[in-house]
Amino acid sequence: MPVRIGQSYVSEAAAEYAKARQKERAEADAAQEKGGIFSELQGKFSEMKFSIGTNPFSGVGTNNVSISPKILKQMEKDPEKRLEYEALLYDVSNTDLVQGRNLKSAGWIIDDNGGLRAWSVGVSDNRNQSSVKRSDKKNWWQELLEKQSKKNKNRSKGSLKALQEKKKAMASELKDIPYLPADQRAPKRTTDSHVTDILRENAEKIMQIPYNGNPMLAKAYLQNTKAAGTSQAFKNIDELSDYLRDNYQVVSGGMTSISSKYLKKCLTDDDSRNRLFDILRAADESYASHKDEVGFQGMNVRVDENGEVTTESSKSTVTVNEGKRSRQIAAAATQKDMQAVIALLEQDLQEVEDGYKQNKCDEAEVEKVKRLLSSAKQRMGTLPDREPTQEEEAIMSINMLI
Protein backbone atom coordinates (compact mmCIF):
# COMPACT_ATOMS: atom_id res chain seq x y z
CA MET A 1 0.00 0.00 0.00
CA PRO A 2 1.47 3.41 -0.99
CA VAL A 3 2.48 5.72 1.84
CA ARG A 4 2.75 9.49 1.49
CA ILE A 5 5.93 11.16 2.72
CA GLY A 6 6.01 14.89 2.00
CA GLN A 7 4.84 15.32 -1.60
CA SER A 8 5.66 11.75 -2.68
CA TYR A 9 3.98 8.37 -2.48
CA VAL A 10 6.33 5.48 -1.78
CA SER A 11 5.99 1.84 -0.78
CA GLU A 12 5.60 0.81 2.86
CA ALA A 13 8.99 -0.90 2.73
CA ALA A 14 10.61 2.29 1.46
CA ALA A 15 8.94 4.34 4.17
CA GLU A 16 10.07 1.93 6.90
CA TYR A 17 13.61 1.95 5.50
CA ALA A 18 13.74 5.77 5.46
CA LYS A 19 12.38 5.99 9.01
CA ALA A 20 14.90 3.44 10.25
CA ARG A 21 17.78 5.34 8.66
CA GLN A 22 16.49 8.58 10.20
CA LYS A 23 16.39 6.94 13.64
CA GLU A 24 19.89 5.55 13.14
CA ARG A 25 21.20 9.01 12.25
CA ALA A 26 19.53 10.51 15.31
CA GLU A 27 21.00 7.80 17.54
CA ALA A 28 24.41 8.27 15.96
CA ASP A 29 24.26 12.03 16.55
CA ALA A 30 23.21 11.47 20.18
CA ALA A 31 25.93 8.89 20.71
CA GLN A 32 28.55 11.18 19.22
CA GLU A 33 27.42 14.09 21.39
CA LYS A 34 27.30 11.97 24.55
CA GLY A 35 30.52 10.16 23.77
CA GLY A 36 32.46 13.37 23.19
CA ILE A 37 31.73 14.95 26.56
CA PHE A 38 31.90 11.57 28.28
CA SER A 39 35.33 10.86 26.90
CA GLU A 40 36.56 14.22 28.14
CA LEU A 41 35.12 13.74 31.63
CA GLN A 42 36.47 10.21 31.94
CA GLY A 43 39.87 11.41 30.84
CA LYS A 44 39.95 14.32 33.28
CA PHE A 45 38.46 12.43 36.24
CA SER A 46 39.69 8.88 35.68
CA GLU A 47 39.11 7.87 39.30
CA MET A 48 35.34 8.49 38.97
CA LYS A 49 32.77 6.18 37.34
CA PHE A 50 30.35 8.21 35.23
CA SER A 51 26.84 7.30 34.14
CA ILE A 52 23.88 9.15 32.65
CA GLY A 53 20.71 9.64 34.68
CA THR A 54 19.50 10.80 38.06
CA ASN A 55 18.64 7.50 39.76
CA PRO A 56 20.15 6.97 43.24
CA PHE A 57 21.67 3.72 44.52
CA SER A 58 22.95 2.74 41.07
CA GLY A 59 26.57 1.64 40.82
CA VAL A 60 29.17 -0.26 42.80
CA GLY A 61 32.04 1.09 44.87
CA THR A 62 32.17 4.60 46.30
CA ASN A 63 33.21 6.81 43.39
CA ASN A 64 30.05 6.91 41.23
CA VAL A 65 28.86 10.08 39.50
CA SER A 66 25.51 10.23 37.65
CA ILE A 67 24.81 13.26 35.46
CA SER A 68 21.48 14.39 34.03
CA PRO A 69 21.40 14.25 30.20
CA LYS A 70 20.09 17.82 30.28
CA ILE A 71 23.25 18.95 32.05
CA LEU A 72 25.42 17.06 29.56
CA LYS A 73 23.63 18.81 26.72
CA GLN A 74 24.23 22.18 28.38
CA MET A 75 27.92 21.36 28.79
CA GLU A 76 28.16 20.38 25.13
CA LYS A 77 26.61 23.63 23.85
CA ASP A 78 27.68 26.22 26.43
CA PRO A 79 31.38 26.67 27.34
CA GLU A 80 30.40 28.49 30.55
CA LYS A 81 28.28 25.54 31.66
CA ARG A 82 31.10 23.16 30.87
CA LEU A 83 33.44 25.28 32.98
CA GLU A 84 30.91 25.37 35.84
CA TYR A 85 30.24 21.62 35.98
CA GLU A 86 33.84 20.58 35.40
CA ALA A 87 34.75 22.74 38.40
CA LEU A 88 31.94 21.06 40.37
CA LEU A 89 33.22 17.61 39.37
CA TYR A 90 36.70 18.60 40.52
CA ASP A 91 35.32 19.33 44.00
CA VAL A 92 33.26 16.13 43.95
CA SER A 93 36.30 14.04 43.02
CA ASN A 94 38.24 15.53 45.94
CA THR A 95 35.49 15.15 48.55
CA ASP A 96 35.51 12.06 50.76
CA LEU A 97 31.90 10.92 50.77
CA VAL A 98 32.74 7.79 52.78
CA GLN A 99 34.38 9.60 55.73
CA GLY A 100 35.33 6.39 57.52
CA ARG A 101 31.85 4.85 57.26
CA ASN A 102 31.55 1.21 56.28
CA LEU A 103 29.69 1.43 52.97
CA LYS A 104 29.04 -1.01 50.16
CA SER A 105 28.47 1.74 47.61
CA ALA A 106 28.01 5.51 47.35
CA GLY A 107 27.83 8.20 44.72
CA TRP A 108 26.91 11.68 43.57
CA ILE A 109 24.08 12.87 41.30
CA ILE A 110 23.92 16.12 39.32
CA ASP A 111 20.18 16.70 38.81
CA ASP A 112 18.27 18.18 35.87
CA ASN A 113 18.26 21.55 37.63
CA GLY A 114 21.98 21.39 38.45
CA GLY A 115 21.43 20.53 42.12
CA LEU A 116 23.73 18.05 43.80
CA ARG A 117 22.71 14.90 45.66
CA ALA A 118 24.65 12.20 47.44
CA TRP A 119 23.56 8.63 48.15
CA SER A 120 25.02 5.70 50.03
CA VAL A 121 24.25 2.04 50.77
CA GLY A 122 25.63 0.62 54.02
CA VAL A 123 26.70 -2.94 54.73
CA SER A 124 23.27 -3.53 56.30
CA ASP A 125 21.60 -2.27 53.11
CA ASN A 126 20.51 0.91 54.90
CA ARG A 127 20.12 3.70 52.35
CA ASN A 128 20.70 7.43 52.71
CA GLN A 129 20.17 10.45 50.46
CA SER A 130 21.04 14.11 50.93
CA SER A 131 20.87 17.14 48.67
CA VAL A 132 21.86 20.81 48.55
CA LYS A 133 21.35 23.78 46.28
CA ARG A 134 24.91 24.65 45.43
CA SER A 135 24.14 28.32 44.78
CA ASP A 136 22.93 28.74 48.37
CA LYS A 137 25.91 27.16 50.11
CA LYS A 138 29.43 28.50 50.11
CA ASN A 139 30.79 25.19 51.34
CA TRP A 140 28.13 22.92 49.87
CA TRP A 141 30.15 19.74 50.35
CA GLN A 142 30.49 20.33 54.10
CA GLU A 143 26.74 20.88 54.39
CA LEU A 144 26.04 17.69 52.42
CA LEU A 145 28.44 15.53 54.37
CA GLU A 146 27.19 16.91 57.69
CA LYS A 147 23.68 15.80 56.72
CA GLN A 148 24.94 12.29 55.97
CA SER A 149 26.91 12.22 59.23
CA LYS A 150 23.92 13.39 61.29
CA LYS A 151 21.73 10.61 59.86
CA ASN A 152 24.32 7.97 60.71
CA LYS A 153 24.81 9.43 64.19
CA ASN A 154 21.09 9.24 64.98
CA ARG A 155 20.90 5.72 63.63
CA SER A 156 23.82 4.53 65.76
CA LYS A 157 22.67 5.98 69.09
CA GLY A 158 20.96 2.76 70.12
CA SER A 159 23.93 0.51 69.35
CA LEU A 160 26.36 2.96 70.99
CA LYS A 161 24.28 3.04 74.18
CA ALA A 162 24.20 -0.77 74.27
CA LEU A 163 28.00 -0.89 73.84
CA GLN A 164 28.54 1.60 76.66
CA GLU A 165 26.28 -0.41 78.98
CA LYS A 166 28.22 -3.57 78.15
CA LYS A 167 31.51 -1.81 78.96
CA LYS A 168 30.19 -0.65 82.34
CA ALA A 169 28.95 -4.12 83.19
CA MET A 170 32.30 -5.73 82.33
CA ALA A 171 34.24 -3.00 84.16
CA SER A 172 32.09 -3.52 87.26
CA GLU A 173 32.72 -7.27 87.17
CA LEU A 174 36.49 -6.79 86.86
CA LYS A 175 36.93 -3.60 88.90
CA ASP A 176 39.08 -5.30 91.55
CA ILE A 177 41.51 -6.83 89.03
CA PRO A 178 44.78 -4.84 88.77
CA TYR A 179 46.18 -3.94 85.35
CA LEU A 180 42.77 -3.92 83.68
CA PRO A 181 40.98 -0.83 82.31
CA ALA A 182 38.08 -0.11 84.71
CA ASP A 183 35.75 2.58 83.37
CA GLN A 184 38.67 3.90 81.27
CA ARG A 185 40.79 4.68 84.40
CA ALA A 186 44.30 3.41 85.02
CA PRO A 187 44.41 0.67 87.70
CA LYS A 188 46.71 0.54 90.70
CA ARG A 189 49.91 -1.48 90.47
CA THR A 190 50.56 -4.57 92.60
CA THR A 191 53.50 -6.93 92.69
CA ASP A 192 54.68 -8.31 89.36
CA SER A 193 54.16 -11.97 90.24
CA HIS A 194 50.62 -11.26 91.49
CA VAL A 195 49.81 -9.38 88.27
CA THR A 196 51.06 -12.29 86.16
CA ASP A 197 48.78 -14.76 87.98
CA ILE A 198 45.76 -12.47 87.69
CA LEU A 199 46.28 -11.89 83.97
CA ARG A 200 46.48 -15.60 83.27
CA GLU A 201 43.43 -16.43 85.37
CA ASN A 202 41.30 -13.69 83.81
CA ALA A 203 42.52 -13.78 80.20
CA GLU A 204 39.13 -14.94 78.90
CA LYS A 205 37.29 -12.09 80.64
CA ILE A 206 39.82 -9.57 79.40
CA MET A 207 39.27 -10.67 75.79
CA GLN A 208 35.53 -10.08 76.16
CA ILE A 209 35.93 -6.40 77.02
CA PRO A 210 34.93 -4.25 73.99
CA TYR A 211 37.91 -2.03 74.62
CA ASN A 212 37.29 1.19 72.69
CA GLY A 213 34.84 -0.83 70.61
CA ASN A 214 37.63 -3.09 69.34
CA PRO A 215 38.37 -6.51 70.91
CA MET A 216 41.78 -6.50 69.18
CA LEU A 217 42.82 -3.62 71.42
CA ALA A 218 41.97 -5.69 74.48
CA LYS A 219 44.14 -8.48 73.11
CA ALA A 220 46.99 -6.04 72.47
CA TYR A 221 46.58 -4.68 76.00
CA LEU A 222 46.91 -8.16 77.48
CA GLN A 223 49.98 -9.06 75.44
CA ASN A 224 51.70 -5.73 76.05
CA THR A 225 51.20 -5.43 79.82
CA LYS A 226 54.46 -5.30 81.78
CA ALA A 227 53.82 -8.49 83.71
CA ALA A 228 57.33 -9.66 84.50
CA GLY A 229 58.94 -6.52 85.94
CA THR A 230 60.82 -5.78 82.67
CA SER A 231 60.49 -2.88 80.25
CA GLN A 232 59.90 -5.17 77.27
CA ALA A 233 56.61 -6.58 76.00
CA PHE A 234 58.46 -8.77 73.49
CA LYS A 235 61.76 -10.59 73.95
CA ASN A 236 63.14 -9.87 70.48
CA ILE A 237 62.28 -8.61 67.00
CA ASP A 238 61.23 -12.08 65.81
CA GLU A 239 58.64 -12.34 68.58
CA LEU A 240 57.31 -8.87 67.81
CA SER A 241 57.18 -9.66 64.08
CA ASP A 242 55.23 -12.85 64.75
CA TYR A 243 52.72 -10.86 66.78
CA LEU A 244 52.31 -8.31 63.98
CA ARG A 245 51.74 -11.05 61.39
CA ASP A 246 49.12 -12.70 63.61
CA ASN A 247 47.16 -9.50 64.25
CA TYR A 248 47.44 -7.22 61.23
CA GLN A 249 46.30 -8.16 57.74
CA VAL A 250 48.60 -5.70 55.99
CA VAL A 251 51.55 -7.44 57.63
CA SER A 252 50.43 -11.03 57.04
CA GLY A 253 49.53 -10.10 53.45
CA GLY A 254 53.05 -8.85 52.70
CA MET A 255 51.92 -5.25 52.23
CA THR A 256 54.11 -3.74 54.97
CA SER A 257 57.78 -2.82 55.23
CA ILE A 258 58.98 -1.77 58.70
CA SER A 259 62.48 -0.54 59.50
CA SER A 260 64.37 -3.06 61.63
CA LYS A 261 65.79 -0.13 63.58
CA TYR A 262 62.28 1.02 64.47
CA LEU A 263 61.22 -2.52 65.38
CA LYS A 264 64.18 -2.70 67.75
CA LYS A 265 63.13 0.59 69.30
CA CYS A 266 59.60 -0.79 69.80
CA LEU A 267 60.98 -3.53 72.05
CA THR A 268 61.87 -1.05 74.78
CA ASP A 269 59.84 2.07 74.03
CA ASP A 270 56.11 1.90 74.81
CA ASP A 271 55.22 5.03 72.82
CA SER A 272 56.96 3.76 69.68
CA ARG A 273 55.33 0.36 69.99
CA ASN A 274 51.87 1.84 70.50
CA ARG A 275 52.42 4.17 67.55
CA LEU A 276 53.28 1.15 65.39
CA PHE A 277 50.10 -0.62 66.49
CA ASP A 278 48.06 2.50 65.65
CA ILE A 279 49.66 2.75 62.20
CA LEU A 280 48.97 -0.88 61.35
CA ARG A 281 45.43 -0.78 62.73
CA ALA A 282 44.66 2.27 60.57
CA ALA A 283 46.24 0.55 57.56
CA ASP A 284 44.05 -2.52 58.14
CA GLU A 285 40.95 -0.34 58.27
CA SER A 286 41.97 1.44 55.08
CA TYR A 287 42.61 -1.85 53.32
CA ALA A 288 39.25 -3.27 54.44
CA SER A 289 37.40 -0.21 53.13
CA HIS A 290 39.09 -0.26 49.71
CA LYS A 291 39.80 -3.91 48.89
CA ASP A 292 36.40 -4.50 47.29
CA GLU A 293 36.47 -1.33 45.16
CA VAL A 294 36.67 -1.86 41.43
CA GLY A 295 40.23 -1.29 40.26
CA PHE A 296 41.90 -1.69 43.67
CA GLN A 297 45.02 -3.81 43.24
CA GLY A 298 46.72 -3.51 46.62
CA MET A 299 48.53 -1.20 49.00
CA ASN A 300 51.99 -0.77 50.48
CA VAL A 301 52.78 0.60 53.95
CA ARG A 302 56.33 1.68 54.80
CA VAL A 303 57.45 2.65 58.31
CA ASP A 304 60.91 4.21 58.46
CA GLU A 305 63.41 4.23 61.33
CA ASN A 306 61.73 7.30 62.88
CA GLY A 307 58.26 5.80 62.79
CA GLU A 308 57.16 7.97 59.88
CA VAL A 309 54.67 6.15 57.67
CA THR A 310 54.15 6.26 53.92
CA THR A 311 51.10 4.54 52.43
CA GLU A 312 50.55 3.90 48.73
CA SER A 313 47.69 2.12 47.02
CA SER A 314 47.57 0.92 43.43
CA LYS A 315 44.54 1.06 41.17
CA SER A 316 44.10 -0.18 37.62
CA THR A 317 40.91 -0.06 35.58
CA VAL A 318 39.80 -1.29 32.16
CA THR A 319 37.09 0.65 30.34
CA VAL A 320 35.68 0.81 26.83
CA ASN A 321 34.85 4.10 25.12
CA GLU A 322 31.15 3.49 24.52
CA GLY A 323 30.71 6.72 22.59
CA LYS A 324 33.50 5.91 20.16
CA ARG A 325 32.28 2.38 19.47
CA SER A 326 28.71 3.66 19.02
CA ARG A 327 29.93 6.17 16.43
CA GLN A 328 31.81 3.44 14.59
CA ILE A 329 28.72 1.21 14.50
CA ALA A 330 26.65 4.11 13.15
CA ALA A 331 29.29 5.07 10.56
CA ALA A 332 29.64 1.57 9.06
CA ALA A 333 28.01 1.67 5.61
CA THR A 334 28.90 -1.84 4.42
CA GLN A 335 29.28 -5.30 5.90
CA LYS A 336 33.05 -4.99 5.49
CA ASP A 337 33.09 -1.86 7.65
CA MET A 338 30.96 -3.54 10.31
CA GLN A 339 33.22 -6.61 10.36
CA ALA A 340 36.11 -4.32 11.32
CA VAL A 341 34.03 -2.81 14.17
CA ILE A 342 32.94 -6.25 15.38
CA ALA A 343 36.59 -7.37 15.48
CA LEU A 344 37.40 -4.40 17.74
CA LEU A 345 34.43 -5.12 20.00
CA GLU A 346 35.42 -8.79 20.34
CA GLN A 347 38.88 -7.62 21.40
CA ASP A 348 37.25 -5.18 23.86
CA LEU A 349 35.13 -7.99 25.27
CA GLN A 350 38.17 -10.17 25.90
CA GLU A 351 39.93 -7.30 27.68
CA VAL A 352 37.03 -6.44 29.98
CA GLU A 353 36.35 -10.10 30.79
CA ASP A 354 40.01 -10.49 31.79
CA GLY A 355 39.78 -7.19 33.68
CA TYR A 356 36.69 -8.38 35.55
CA LYS A 357 38.61 -11.42 36.79
CA GLN A 358 41.40 -9.11 38.02
CA ASN A 359 39.00 -6.58 39.66
CA LYS A 360 39.86 -3.95 37.05
CA CYS A 361 36.23 -3.41 36.03
CA ASP A 362 32.76 -4.41 37.13
CA GLU A 363 30.17 -6.63 35.53
CA ALA A 364 28.37 -3.59 34.10
CA GLU A 365 31.41 -2.84 31.92
CA VAL A 366 31.30 -6.37 30.49
CA GLU A 367 27.57 -6.11 29.82
CA LYS A 368 28.09 -2.76 28.09
CA VAL A 369 30.49 -4.31 25.57
CA LYS A 370 28.16 -7.27 25.02
CA ARG A 371 25.31 -4.87 24.20
CA LEU A 372 27.48 -2.98 21.73
CA LEU A 373 28.58 -6.23 20.10
CA SER A 374 24.99 -7.45 19.81
CA SER A 375 23.94 -4.12 18.28
CA ALA A 376 26.76 -4.30 15.72
CA LYS A 377 25.90 -7.86 14.68
CA GLN A 378 22.22 -7.02 14.40
CA ARG A 379 22.86 -3.98 12.21
CA MET A 380 25.29 -5.88 10.02
CA GLY A 381 22.36 -7.87 8.57
CA THR A 382 20.87 -4.63 7.19
CA LEU A 383 24.06 -3.46 5.44
CA PRO A 384 24.95 -4.12 1.79
CA ASP A 385 27.69 -6.62 0.92
CA ARG A 386 29.84 -4.40 -1.31
CA GLU A 387 32.93 -2.27 -1.27
CA PRO A 388 32.43 1.13 0.41
CA THR A 389 32.45 4.26 -1.69
CA GLN A 390 35.29 6.74 -1.35
CA GLU A 391 33.12 9.02 0.78
CA GLU A 392 31.95 6.15 2.99
CA GLU A 393 35.51 4.97 3.43
CA ALA A 394 36.65 8.46 4.46
CA ILE A 395 33.86 8.77 7.03
CA MET A 396 34.65 5.36 8.46
CA SER A 397 38.37 6.14 8.66
CA ILE A 398 37.68 9.30 10.65
CA ASN A 399 35.44 7.47 13.12
CA MET A 400 38.03 4.72 13.58
CA LEU A 401 40.64 7.31 14.54
CA ILE A 402 38.84 9.77 16.80
* pLDDT of 105 higher than 90: no
pLDDT at 126: 78
Query: CA 335, CA 330: separation in Å to the nearest integer?
Result: 12
pLDDT at 400: 86
- pLDDT (average), residues 282-311: 87
Query: CA 255, CA 310: separation in Å to the nearest integer?
Result: 12
Spatial CA neighbour of 101 closest among 270, 285, 240: 285
* pLDDT of 346 higher than 70: yes
* pLDDT of 224 higher than 50: no
Give percent above pLDDT 90 in the chain.
23
Q: Looking at residue 182, what DSSP letter applies?
A: B
pLDDT at 214: 43
pTM: 0.38
* pLDDT of 401 higher than 50: yes
pLDDT at 232: 44
Model confidence at 117, in pLDDT bands (50, 70, 90)?
confident
- pLDDT (average), residues 311-328: 89
Strands (E), 188-269: 256-258
* pLDDT of 216 higher than 60: no
- pLDDT (average), residues 280-306: 88
**Phi, psi (rounded to 5 degrees) for 10:** -135, 170
pLDDT at 142: 57
* pLDDT of 68 higher than 60: yes
pLDDT at 69: 85
Number of residues that this document lists for the chain: 402
- In this structure, of 51-55, 93-97, 303-307, 309-313, the range with the lowest mean pLDDT score is 93-97
- pLDDT (average), residues 47-63: 83
- The winner for highest mean pLDDT among 135-149, 159-173, 228-242 is 228-242
Model confidence at 133, in pLDDT bands (50, 70, 90)?
low
Model confidence at 154, in pLDDT bands (50, 70, 90)?
low
Model confidence at 165, in pLDDT bands (50, 70, 90)?
low
- In this structure, of 2-16, 197-211, 312-326, 373-387, the range with the lowest mean pLDDT score is 197-211
Sign of the alpha-carbon dihedral angle for 80, 86, 89, 94? negative
- The winner for highest mean pLDDT among 92-96, 176-180, 354-358 is 354-358
- pLDDT (average), residues 205-216: 41
Q: Is 359 exposed, middle or buried (0-12, 13-18, 19+ CB in 10 A)?
A: middle
Task: Find all residues with CB under 8 Å of 367, minimum gap 6, and list them.
Answer: none
119 vs 225, residue with greater confidence: 119
Average predicted confidence (pLDDT) for the chain: 75
Spatial CA neighbour of 183 closest among 170, 171, 169: 171
pLDDT at 251: 92
pLDDT at 87: 79
pLDDT at 63: 84
Query: CA 400, CA 32: separation in Å to the nearest integer?
Result: 13
